Structure 1
């Protein structure tokens, strides 16, 4: 099962979902796969207006549409997927926000796009599964960069030494940008166990089995650490979660 947002679930004219390892593209969104825009995510700040199915978007990390029947998605592993809807369901958006995009303003760029034709006060946003403060250890230099560059409480940015809380930073930024409401869907992509599998069902001698079956989400960081121990483990290319949203076609 994919993760869903309680906020977005209240809007009847849209369908949304956050991918998991079980369903990289949420099952509810799979019927609309053929409408997906073509894109290359680059941890940048570019927002694209999507007006046609399969539109070529080039390098972009944010997508906005008012056109029914076009599925907007972003690929993530430990980065933040954030999806948006106007409260009347007449416009939707999706953003890929890794630490670079979050630090340098991808959410503010989406807010600026929304404010061109309306107001963020008429929109809600949902933050999907991503690396949590429990596991996202970084350099002290990066923590310092965030704390010095953002007007947010230092303890919100880094609740424990050398850890960043990306979902909390995104939540605070979205509220600062004027969104009517923001919620969280999903949990930490690095440590959240697969609820379908208990540790007793795993084969202790099989690191690969633990990687593919033991966690709810695909995680670039968890996979990289395992590959340091066992270089034979495959990478995650082709196994990133997709999180997305669509205005239902008429």
Structure 2
């Protein structure tokens, strides 16, 4: 079932949701699909203001709007989706934060955009499903790079050998940047099973890494092109 943030669910003027394999775009957001921006996510840190439906944005990984009825969404399949709302629902945002974007400052760029004419203290954020610390194994060099560049204890960045905790890093960044509250919706995209289906084994989320392993074993196994999940938010009130 679609993941929802308890924190964002208290804001009456917005609708949000984090997609999964059962509904890549959450059902509550599907009426707004035609308003989605045209963009290319590139694991960067560019934030774009969305002022009109179906706006052409070029290469971008973060989106911000104060316009009602325009769906702001990012596509992920192991990377971290983070969606944002002002506490009164009058402005919203979303970022796609893989390890590159998270390390290089996509979250900070969203905070900078908010602080241009507001304060992050008036905003909340929710972190969606992504590759979890349980499964997200990377090389030692990348772990070392994170530890060198980020001012967090080693156990937050890497709670076990060569495993990276994207969600914990993002949560600490968001707290440090002054957001009023942060929560997490969803779980690990690599290993979380769909609790509604037991036979055969069926995973809840699309996962690039899991799919790549299957394709290494069986080149005929279909790739995930067109099957990434959307995490999105729209001002409805």
TM-score (norm 2): 0.99
The residue that corresponds to 1:14 in the other structure is 14
The residue that corresponds to 1:216 in the other structure is 204
- Structure 2 residue 225 is matched with structure 1 residue 237: yes
* SS across alignment from 1:48: strand
Deviations, residues 48-99 of structure 1 (Å, cap 9, x unaligned): 0000001101100000000001000000000000000000000000000000
The residue that corresponds to 2:177 in the other structure is 177
Q: CA deviation at 1:163?
A: 0.3
Q: CA deviation at 1:197?
A: 1.1
* SS across alignment from 1:144: helix
Q: CA deviation at 1:32?
A: 0.5
The residue that corresponds to 1:32 in the other structure is 32
The residue that corresponds to 2:236 in the other structure is 248
Deviations, residues 84-141 of structure 1 (Å, cap 9, x unaligned): 0000000000000000000000000000000001100000000000000000000000
Structure 1 unaligned spans of 5+: 203-209
- Structure 2 residue 168 is matched with structure 1 residue 168: yes
Provide the C-alpha distance between the structure 2 equivalents of 1:66 and 1:121, rounded to a whole number of angstroms. Answer: 17
Task: Report how many residues are paired.
Answer: 237
The residue that corresponds to 1:51 in the other structure is 51
| Superposed counterparts of 1:75-90, under 5 Å | 75-90=75-90
Provide the C-alpha distance between the structure 2 equivalents of 1:228 and 1:171, rounded to a whole number of angstroms. Answer: 33
Structure 2 unaligned spans of 5+: none
TM-score (norm 1): 0.94
Tell me which structure has the larger Cα radius of gyration. Answer: 1
What is the CA RMSD across the aligned residues, in angstroms?
0.7
| Deviating 4+ runs (over 6 angstroms) | none
* SS across alignment from 1:148: helix
* SS across alignment from 1:228: helix
The residue that corresponds to 1:119 in the other structure is 119
Deviations, residues 220-242 of structure 1 (Å, cap 9, x unaligned): 00000111111110110000000
- Structure 2 residue 99 is matched with structure 1 residue 99: yes
Provide the C-alpha distance between the structure 2 equivalents of 1:107 and 1:47, rounded to a whole number of angstroms. Answer: 10
